[in-house]
Amino acid sequence: MERERFGLEWTVGHSGSPDEEPAFRVPAKVPGAVQLDWAAAEGWPPFYEGTNYKDYEWMEDRFWSCRAVLDAPALSGDQRLFFVCMGVDYRFEVRLDGVKLHEQEGMFTSFELDLTDRLAPGAKLDIVVFPAPRRPGAERGRAEAAQSCKPAVGYGWDWHPRLIPLGIWDEAFLEVRPALHIRWAETVCRLPVPQEGRPLQADVCLRAVLSQPGGLLRWLVRDPAGNLVAERTLRAETGDVELRLALDNPALWWPNGHGEPALYTSEALLLGEDGQALDRSVSRFGARSVRLVMHEGAWNEPSSFPKSRSNPPITLEINGRRLFAKGTNWVPPDIFPGTLDKGRYEELLEMARDAHMNLIRSWGGGIVNKEVFFDLCDEKGLLVWQEFPLACNDYEAAPDYMNVLDRESRSIIERLRSHACLALWCGGNELFNGWSGMTDQSPALRLLNRNCFDLDPETPFLPTSPVTGMGHGHYVFRDVSTGEEVFQLMPAASCTAYTEFGIPSPAGVEQLTTFLPAEELYPPRRGGAWEAHHAFGAWEEDTWLCEGLIEHYFGPHRTLEELVERGQLLQCEGYKCVYEEARRQKPKCSMALNWCFNEAWPAAANNSLVCWPAVPKPALAAVKQSCRPVLASARIPKFSWREGEWFEPQLWMLSDSPEPVPAVRLTAYLVIGGRRHALLDWTCPELEANGNAPGPTIRFRLPFADTGGRMRLVLEAEGHSEWNSSYTLLLKPGEDGPRRQGLNL
Amino acid sequence: MERERFGLEWTVGHSGSPDEEPAFRVPAKVPGAVQLDWAAAEGWPPFYEGTNYKDYEWMEDRFWSCRAVLDAPALSGDQRLFFVCMGVDYRFEVRLDGVKLHEQEGMFTSFELDLTDRLAPGAKLDIVVFPAPRRPGAERGRAEAAQSCKPAVGYGWDWHPRLIPLGIWDEAFLEVRPALHIRWAETVCRLPVPQEGRPLQADVCLRAVLSQPGGLLRWLVRDPAGNLVAERTLRAETGDVELRLALDNPALWWPNGHGEPALYTSEALLLGEDGQALDRSVSRFGARSVRLVMHEGAWNEPSSFPKSRSNPPITLEINGRRLFAKGTNWVPPDIFPGTLDKGRYEELLEMARDAHMNLIRSWGGGIVNKEVFFDLCDEKGLLVWQEFPLACNDYEAAPDYMNVLDRESRSIIERLRSHACLALWCGGNELFNGWSGMTDQSPALRLLNRNCFDLDPETPFLPTSPVTGMGHGHYVFRDVSTGEEVFQLMPAASCTAYTEFGIPSPAGVEQLTTFLPAEELYPPRRGGAWEAHHAFGAWEEDTWLCEGLIEHYFGPHRTLEELVERGQLLQCEGYKCVYEEARRQKPKCSMALNWCFNEAWPAAANNSLVCWPAVPKPALAAVKQSCRPVLASARIPKFSWREGEWFEPQLWMLSDSPEPVPAVRLTAYLVIGGRRHALLDWTCPELEANGNAPGPTIRFRLPFADTGGRMRLVLEAEGHSEWNSSYTLLLKPGEDGPRRQGLNL
């Protein structure tokens, strides 16, 4: 009964027009990218080394013909042979022995072709991939993507080279199916918002489209432990089948940190008239409700006349419980998304889960990930904020573009809406800012709102990020123009959600050696591989290495190790400050997502927590500390201190745990040059679920010690070492040079 | 060829259930309201006198059977007889001799019934109107309207008694049509945004639905002068017909103050096979583009990190020209909208046009007006911001409500979208504020956005008013809690649009005598007719009479005339301040709409400019002064002055004229007790189109004079007396009592 699938052997060649035969072909890996195939065949060194990626640029303007020679399997009388393709990047035609069978623009709409009666022996199936789309007249860069659904990031970003993938980027295979088979099936579970003390019922719906009317559809639903909990059978009088059932008090799907991400299994079994199994479709679903709700007190603002609206809601409420969303911005884990598989996704998603994250913003400049990404997020309790492929451009409403956007967005919504992890649709990235120029009136965004409402009305929709109340940035530890550090910027901010904030650091030394030529490694210089890998001039002048800033705090560096260690320390302490301060601003703030989690290629310096392909930076561990459900925390006025100054951090206990936290005694001390200075003891009272407590503010005169310039603030929770925290800060000599105060020594 | 129409004689009676025959019936006026019929039959005094309206309350819970006995006209063989009804308020069934033919919830969807083969002689057509909808469990008041499309205002508002109209509120008649006739026709004109120096072409589309395929459809388009400019003929092979034509360089439709509101005529003529005219549909259209665009400089904000979005656009751009929208909030001109006819609408709309207004916000608490309202706005160049019937409630997404909202909103959109005046759709009033509790995620608003996008994608859509950047309020001359006057509040505000602001005043003395019992007329007292007519406790304690505030400025009043004159002076000067200050804040601000223009019944005190039914207050003339395309203006720090203070108004020239304004010399002087004090001369340089100029700030030491407490600031424009302005302010003795400064006397 399992469908028989056949992989195909592919070759690829390029030419100057869609109908010109390539001069020659080379072996192709599917899924993959034409660029990788070509480079492999030519024996090129890795594209990510040095400035090799520049050698690929000519490829974006060629027509690429991907060919498989089909040897049709023997079919029994009522069997059909399908060619199934999950995605081709980006515009393409499909031809069988030169006859066009299909054409499409857009990488997110799968297609299948019934080849049963078309296959001559040795038939040639060609997928002709057109040049990367480029908006006529657009200046070089992301603006070239502004009239297509091609992810804009490939045209170059401040952490991504210009390298525009093309080719068959998702599974493609032949499949034998019985004539009567399941063309498409989906199980959607709707859960009302649970209410204390009231019985709860999930509404589960199986929808299936059969290739033709006929047969029996048997539906089997199993609980997370594998026990059969419901069974329904329907005679399929028409090709469109819908079955519903109610699950009483279902096991709930919870995000990471809030409970188990319980997943039910839904099996649709198509039986012939004689009862034999013909076809089968299995999927999983989770019972959970999701809403964006107003935070406590939100309706009280604005309070004065003339009165505007209250901020739009951004607090995620899952199963009736308001969450503090701790998470990150997800970018394509590879320049060539065709290379992504379960292993690559899983390695990264494990790191996010282990860092106590519960929300992944899948950024609109990149791809909509493959199915397995969402399966893994379902399993790991990682909520997904999914953006459509619009970012930092004005996507104007030309009819051709609107047609592609309409079809691609419908495909995306229909593919993802049944995933428990899918928490939020969003039109795209920073579209309501000046560098994009779109507004609430932009037809492309009204179309996306329309399609989401029509196809998935229960999932919240944001037109873009940020909307009012939310903030993006800053992206540096210290703003050179204002002199303000995150330590000052964040407490002064008052956003409902920090949906992008970044602190850059260099990659680790070992990582740097994998893609920087040895002779360029140290000291970093402009104009070469460091700059190509975004260490210089990527966004603002000094980004992302921020060498000047590192020297501002630490003085000149003497080795690569020293430079990297210092930059990474800033990233660690900066990210801790932002996550913890965002949590302190609860309930007005209910979300903190750093920019960014991962990388599409190895950046020499970047805001990422994890280097390409999956190499964690120290900041990942630091963020993990700040994202613990319960922790002792300090609001620290600044990073760099001098002897004799009054050190005045405020103590806090932070919790977003769904359980109350018992009272605990905190001890704060400062470690300076191996010596421990007691600061304060504070007994924090019991915290209610998801409740913080501000504590006292320390006031301590800083002594001088020859510490190598650092000190460490340590918070210890009596009997709960898992809540302990520590912060590394700078301690420098007084303005007038080193001296001994005698006060505290 | 003109269709023959027959009015009907109606009677009405009430009962306790839909199937119970009324005990007796009385004559009914259609269109009208069952309440008015009943009161007329019983010989009741006017509902608007004293507290008579309270006698009507029982009526909202009854079933009202409206009956017409049909005497069918003689029909020739191929003629059909239709019953056509433009609207029944609110939920109803239609029965013919007891057989249900139609049922509906919603007053904004017209219906027609083919009765040709159904009519026995003397057949009884009953329209059974159900009780007014009331959300179960809702507290008394507007919240009862929160699960229906019934305008919420009837349930009581701070300027509207609780009186919920019911009945046939729009035209209802029998009509004889040929079997082959035009069921529905619409002419829609789309104009691209005109661009300097480029040819302009309007796309005009006639869509018609015929009762059956067949015949020829001839389409005749005439320009505003009546000349035939295009003609098309199509054989109607199907019942759905679409014809298009391009109009080169069409005469543009311009809003009031910007040019002529040119209207073309579209005539669809249905011809039989033999060429004889069977049926005809005539409508008008205007060639104009409309967009909401960002104001100059809008993209520069916000400027700091964390960075939120820029404000949504609210600047109206018509035919490529950005307007300053001067206008007003329109409420139902009568509690019983069934009584509204062309004459009532025209009287009010003439006043708005003559006051230089160009935008009418048709507020979501009230009705969507009858067709003739929009015809008149088309003719007078009054843009319409049309809200759907949602206001100040949380309209939750129960399936029944969503179905009614879906159908009613589609009917509204399809009826109005072809009007040149229709500039803006809006989900409803103040829905994103705490007292409503809806958000961007509310399904009802996403549905409205969806329907507007599907059916009228080129007209801007706002989910509600206010959205970010826009402001509602204040609604008083002076906020008692802060002591702040509009003179301080407005310059401190920084909105993109002031879409509601109110300054109340009592109605005129003559007007008051028409509905207040003589014995209650003076002094105004709580608990009686003054309070029932919103003079006391309507919104905040003192509203809308604000007697305490009037006494704060003027001391005790001794006659009704004195009280009214003082209250009306505050309204005049307050509204002048707000309109002129909003204009000064251009380009960030591009809209000023006072709350409100008119009234649904006679209020004793109200923010209205025009008393019910169409009696202008002095404030209408004051607003007209402030809305002149070009005027001399002053930013005045406060209303009430004392001798010896420094009087420091700033001079301005304001223009929203589409033409430049030549340089002009302004002379400012102060009239105190008949004596004229020269203040300043200023030569204002030439103004560009739609350009203001700030001028110098006067500094003048106020003398004492026994002026009755008033002084007048006069601005004269040399050679342009039409730009002169004057402001009446208070001048009181110094803190220490009257004295003579000698400085300026």
- Same CATH topology for B182-285 and B318-626: the answer is no
* Rounded Cα gap, residues A103 and A94, in angstroms: 6
Nearest chain B Cα distance for residue A576, angstroms: 17
Nearest CA-CA partner of B72 in B167, B8, B128 = B8
The residues near B147 (Cβ < 8 Å, ≥ 6 apart) are B133, B135, B395, B396, B398, B400, B401
Nearest CA-CA partner of A243 in A287, A208, A282, A269 = A208
* Rounded Cα gap, residues A28 and A194, in angstroms: 51
Place of tokens 């656009």: B313
- How many CA atoms are closer than 13 Å to the CA of A81, on its beta-carbon side? 18
Which residues from chain A sit within 8 angstroms of residue B464, using beta carbons?
309
* Rounded Cα gap, residues B31 and B342, in angstroms: 13
Question: How many residue contacts between A and B have a Cβ separation below 8 Å?
Answer: 144
Architecture of the domain made up of A324-330+350-465 = Alpha-Beta Barrel (3.20)
Nearest by CB to A309, which of B291, B433, B454? B433
Is the pLDDT score of A743 beyond 50?
no
Return the CATH number of the domain spanning residue range A481-627. Answer: 3.20.20.80
Nearest CA-CA partner of B668 in B655, B686, B652, B688 = B652
> What pLDDT shows up at residue A277?
94
Nearest CA-CA partner of B512 in B391, B606, B394 = B606
Q: How far apart are the first and last CA of chain A?
A: 79
Cut 0.90: pTM above it: yes
Sheet with B10-15, edge to edge strand ranges: B26-28, B10-15, B63-70, B123-129, B91-96, B99-105
Judging by DSSP bridges, how do beta strands A182-190 and B675-684 pair with one another?
Answer: unpaired
Is the pLDDT score of B745 beyond 70?
no
* Rounded Cα gap, residues B632 and B719, in angstroms: 13
* Rounded Cα gap, residues A677 and B634, in angstroms: 65
A450:B449 CB<8 A = yes
Is the pLDDT score of B599 beyond 70?
yes
Confidence of residue A739 (pLDDT cuts 50, 70, 90): low
Return the CATH number of the domain spanning residue range A4-178. Answer: 2.60.120.260
Q: What b/e readout covers B210-224, taking b as 16+ CB neighbours within 10 angstroms?
A: bbeebbebbbbbbbb
What tokens appear for A219 in the block? 């539906």
CB–CB of A254/A262 below 8 Å?
A: yes
Judging by DSSP bridges, how do beta strands A710-717 and A725-732 pair with one another?
Answer: antiparallel
3-state class (DSSP) for residue B629: coil
Q: What is the mean pLDDT of residues B663-677?
A: 96
> What pLDDT shows up at residue A716?
98
B471:A308 CB<8 A = yes
> What pLDDT shows up at residue A488?
98
Report chain A's mean pLDDT, rounded to a whole number.
96
Q: Which of B293, B301, B308 to mutate to test the interface with A (most CBs of A within 10 A)?
A: B308
Q: What is the mean pLDDT of residues A426-437?
A: 98
Nearest CA-CA partner of B536 in B572, B573, B568, B506 = B506
Nearest chain A Cα distance for residue B434, angstroms: 5
- Closest B-chain CA to A299: B434
Contacts 24+ apart (CB under 8 A), B273-278: B273/B214, B273/B215, B273/B216, B275/B216, B277/B1, B278/B1, B278/B178, B278/B180, B278/B181, B278/B215
CB–CB of B485/B638 below 8 Å?
A: yes
Nearest chain A Cα distance for residue B613, angstroms: 29
Find the helix or strand (DSSP H, E) in which A625 lies. helix A618-626
What tokens appear for B538 in the block? 């309507």
Q: What is the mean pLDDT of residues A195-210?
A: 96
Q: For chain B, say whether A299 makes contact (Cβ under 8 Å).
A: yes
Q: What is the mean pLDDT of residues B420-427?
A: 98
Confidence of residue B742 (pLDDT cuts 50, 70, 90): very low
Is the pLDDT score of A476 beyond 50?
yes
Is the pLDDT score of A741 beyond 70?
no
Q: For chain A, say whether B437 makes contact (Cβ under 8 Å).
A: yes
- How many CA atoms are closer than 13 Å to the CA of A120, on its beta-carbon side? 7
Report chain B's mean pLDDT, rounded to a whole number.
96
Rg (alpha carbons) of chain A, rounded to whole number = 28
Is the pLDDT score of A157 beyond 90?
yes
Confidence of residue B739 (pLDDT cuts 50, 70, 90): low
Nearest CA-CA partner of B119 in B76, B74, B72 = B72
> What pLDDT shows up at residue B1?
72
Give the dihedral sign, CA A670/A675/A676/A678: negative
Q: For chain A, say whether B491 makes contact (Cβ under 8 Å).
A: no
* Rounded Cα gap, residues B628 and B741, in angstroms: 38
* Rounded Cα gap, residues A501 and A576, in angstroms: 12
Is the pLDDT score of B601 beyond 90?
yes
Domain ranges of chain B: 4-177, 182-285, 318-626, 630-732
What tokens appear for B254 in the block? 């311009």
Find the helix or strand (DSSP H, E) in which B380 lies. helix B371-380
Nearest CA-CA partner of B525 in B511, B536, B537 = B536
3-state class (DSSP) for residue B14: strand
Q: Phi/psi at B360 (nearest 5 deg)?
A: -115, 120
Is the pLDDT score of A341 beyond 70?
yes
A309:B453 CB<8 A = no
Single-letter amino acid, residue B122: G
> What pLDDT shows up at residue B274?
87
> What pLDDT shows up at residue A429?
98
Q: What is the mean pLDDT of residues B631-641?
A: 98
Return the CATH number of the domain spanning residue range B4-177. Answer: 2.60.120.260
Is the pLDDT score of A736 beyond 70?
no
CB–CB of A159/A534 below 8 Å?
A: yes
Confidence of residue A737 (pLDDT cuts 50, 70, 90): low
Single-letter amino acid, residue A736: D
Q: Which of B299, B309, B494 to mutate to test the interface with A (most CBs of A within 10 A)?
A: B309
Tens-place pLDDT, residues A585-615? 999 999 999 999 999 999 999 999 999 999 9
Sheet with B315-318, edge to edge strand ranges: B290-293, B315-318, B321-322
The CATH label, of 3.40.640.10, 3.40.30.10, 2.60.40.10, 1.20.1090.10, for the domain at B630-732 is: 2.60.40.10
CB–CB of A570/A544 below 8 Å?
A: no
Nearest CA-CA partner of A512 in A12, A36, A46, A50 = A50
**Does CATH place domain B318-626 in 3.20.20.80?**
yes
Q: What is the mean pLDDT of residues A15-44?
A: 98
Nearest CA-CA partner of A711 in A733, A696, A693, A690 = A733
A450:B447 CB<8 A = no
* Rounded Cα gap, residues B601 and B616, in angstroms: 14
Q: What is the mean pLDDT of residues B125-145?
A: 97
Confidence of residue B736 (pLDDT cuts 50, 70, 90): low
Question: The complex's ipTM?
Answer: 0.96
CB–CB of A33/A336 below 8 Å?
A: yes
* Rounded Cα gap, residues A462 and A446, in angstroms: 11
Is the pLDDT score of B426 beyond 80?
yes
Cα B2 to Cα A146, B5, B86, B277: the distances in Å are 53, 9, 19, 9
Nearest CA-CA partner of B496 in A472, A306, A300, A471 = A306
* Rounded Cα gap, residues A546 and A508, in angstroms: 15
- Closest B-chain CA to A434: B299
A432:B312 CB<8 A = yes
Return the CATH number of the domain spanning residue range B182-285. Answer: 2.60.40.10
- Closest A-chain CA to B495: A306
Confidence of residue B707 (pLDDT cuts 50, 70, 90): low
Place of tokens 């509905």: B515
Query: To 10 degrees, what angle do helices A443-455 and B443-455 make?
Result: 120
Confidence of residue B704 (pLDDT cuts 50, 70, 90): confident
3-state class (DSSP) for residue A123: strand
Question: In angstroms, how far apart are the furthest CA atoms of chain B?
Answer: 96
* Rounded Cα gap, residues A472 and A488, in angstroms: 16
> What pLDDT shows up at residue B743?
41
Confidence of residue A674 (pLDDT cuts 50, 70, 90): confident
CB–CB of A477/A570 below 8 Å?
A: yes
- Closest B-chain CA to A445: B453
Is the pLDDT score of A695 beyond 90?
yes
Find the helix or strand (DSSP H, E) in which B93 lies. strand B91-96
CB–CB of B215/B278 below 8 Å?
A: yes
The secondary structure of B411-451 as a DSSP string is HHHHHHTT-TTEEEEE--BSTTSTTT---TT-HHHHHHHHH
Tens-place pLDDT, residues B141-181? 999 999 999 999 999 999 999 999 999 999 999 999 999 99
> What pLDDT shows up at residue B735?
72
